[in-house]
Structure 1
Amino acid sequence: MTRLLLVCAANVCRSPMAEAVLRLRARELGLSEVASAGVFASSRPHPVDKRALTVLEQRGYGMDRRWRSRKVTTEDFDRHDLILAMDRAVLRGLKAMRPAISPAKLGLFLAGMTGLGLDEVPDPYYGSGSGFVQVLDLIEARVHTWPRDPATFGKDAG
Structure 2
Amino acid sequence: MKPYAILMCCMGNICRSPTAEGVLRAKLDAAGLAALVELDSAGTHEYHLGRAPDPRTQRHALQRGYDLSALRARKVGVPDFDRFDLILAMDRENLAGLLRLRPDAGDKVRLLMSFATRHDADEVPDPYYGEGDGFERVLDYIEDACDGLVAELRQRLQPPAG
Gaps of 5+ in 2: 155-162
The within-5 A match list for 1:2-151 is 2-27=4-29, 28=31, 30=33, 31-42=36-47, 44-65=49-70, 67-98=71-102, 100=104, 105-146=108-149, 147-148=151-152
Is the alpha carbon distance of 1:112 and 1:53 closer, same or farther for their aligned partners in structure 2, counting shifts above 3 Å? closer
8 Å contact 1:6–1:15 — kept in the other structure? yes
Is the alpha carbon distance of 1:61 and 1:94 closer, same or farther for their aligned partners in structure 2, counting shifts above 3 Å? same
Is the alpha carbon distance of 1:144 and 1:115 closer, same or farther for their aligned partners in structure 2, counting shifts above 3 Å? closer
Query: What do you get for the CA RMSD once the two structures are aligned?
Result: 2.4
Q: Which secondary structure does the structure 2 equivalent of 1:111 belong to?
A: helix
The number of residues matched between the two structures is 149
Cα offset for 1:11? Answer: 0.4
TM-score when normalising by structure 1: 0.83
Distance across 1 between alignment mates of 2:77 and 2:101? 8
8 Å contact 1:2–1:32 — kept in the other structure? yes
Moved more, 44-53 or 70-79: 44-53
8 Å contact 1:83–1:105 — kept in the other structure? yes
TM-score when normalising by structure 2: 0.81
Q: Which secondary structure does the structure 1 equivalent of 2:58 belong to?
A: helix
Instruction: Quote the sequence identity (%).
Output: 43
Gaps of 5+ in 1: 151-158
Equivalent residue for 1:156?
A: none
